[in-house]
Amino acid sequence: MSNNPHLWMRAESRPSERRAPLVPEDAARLVARGVEITVEESAQRAFPLDDYLAAGCHAAPAGSWTDAPGGAHVLGLKELPDGPAELAHRHIYFGHAYKGQTGASELLARFTAGGGSLLDLEYLTDDTGRRLAAFGYWAGYVGAALAVLHRRGRLRTPLTPTGLDALDALLNEPGQNGSALVIGALGRSGRGACDALAKAGLTPTRWDIAETATLDRAALLDHDILVNTVLMNRPTPPFLTDADLDGLRRLSVVSDVTCDVTSACNVLPVYTELTDWDRPVRRLREGDQPADLIAIDNLPSLLPVEASRAFSAELWPLLANLGGTDPVWARCLDVFKTAVAGTGNGEAAGDRADDDERKGYADAH
C-alpha cells in the first residue's frame, strides 16, 4: 500500500442508498493528514458534493472509479454494479461474499480476474475479533421501529429517508404495542433495537448467547414482535422455522435486521427473498393468525445522516492508517485471500463478541 493513500469514494449504484461511508467533516480530517480524496458526484447521497469540495476533496463523475489511478482505494458501502468483469483496484465496502451468499463466487472471480482485492468492512476488526466500524446500532433501531409502526398499522410506504426526530415522533404516538423480543440484545444492533422499542413505550425481552444456548421456542413464539440482530458466521440451529409459523403462536411481526437470507448461516430460514423500500413487508403466513416479515438490508439508509456520521466517526481514523502496515487492514486483506483461495468462509473475523464489555453475539452491520 502507498504511504500516501488515495481514497476514491464512489457513488452508490443502489437507488435507495443515501448514506456515505465518509462524511465531509471527517474527510477534512483525512485531507489535513495528507490523504488525497476523490468523491464522485451523486444525486442521492445525503451530503452535498460541495461540502466535500470545501473539505479539500476532488470531484469526479459518478461511476468513474473504474478509471481511478491503480493505487487508489475505492470506498463505498453496498454492492458494486455488474460491470466491469475484472476488478483491478482495492475496494472497501460490504461485499457479503465470504459465506456463500448469492453472487459471492462471481464477485470473487471478478477480483481474481482483475488482480484487485476486497477489504470488506464487515471484517474490519481488532485482534480480539471486535468490529471497529459498523452501522449496527442504527440498523437495529430502524428495524425495530419499522416493526412497531407496521404492527400499529402506521407504516407509510414506500419508505423514504427521514431524520431521527421525525422517526421518534412516530414512535411516540400512542398505539397498539404488544410484546417484543430482541435476539442479540448485547450487540450494537441489539442495543439500537431495544432503544427504539423503549422509545415506542415497550420493554423488550432481551436474549443473547445465554438465552439461545437452549432455545425456549414457546417463549419466542409468545411475543408479538421478533427483532433478530444476530450475525452468525457458521451454521447453527435456526431460531425460527416454517413449522413454528404453521403452529399456534402469538408472533405476528418478524424484523430480520441481519438479512442473511442466502447464507447457510441464516438463523431465520422462513423466507427466501429480502424486502425493500417499495414493499417493506412480506406476508409469511395468511389466515386468522397472519405473520409478516421485514427484511431490508440497508436499514440505516432510512436515517442516512445520523447513521453516516456515526459510521464515519469510527472509520476515518482507520482510513488514516490505510497507507501503512496497520494490522487491522492486513487482517482484512488476509480474510479476502483466504476466501479466494477457497480454504475458508470468513470465519477468521466472526463468531466473537461485538460488544464493548460483555460477551454477546456478533451483531448485524
The set of catalytic residues is 78, 96
Which amino acid belongs to residue 262? T
* Distance (Å, whole) CA 260 – CA 266: 5
C-alpha cell at 350: 466472526
User: DSSP secondary-structure letter at 75?
Assistant: E
Torsion of CA 279, 170, 22, 14, to 10 degrees: 10
- Nearest CA to 218 out of 246, 248, 190, 194 is that of 248
> Cell match 440482530: residue?
229
Rounded alpha-carbon distances, angstroms, from residue 111 to 83, 118, 243, 330: 12, 8, 40, 17
Q: Which residue has the cell 470488506?
A: 120
342: Cα within 13 Å, side-chain hemisphere: 3
Q: Write out the DSSP string of 3-43.
A: SS-EEEEPPPSSTT----SS-HHHHHHHHHTT-EEEEE--S
| Whole-angstrom distance, CA of residue 353 vs CA of residue 362 | 5
Q: Residue 325: how many CA atoms within 13 Å on its side-chain side?
A: 0
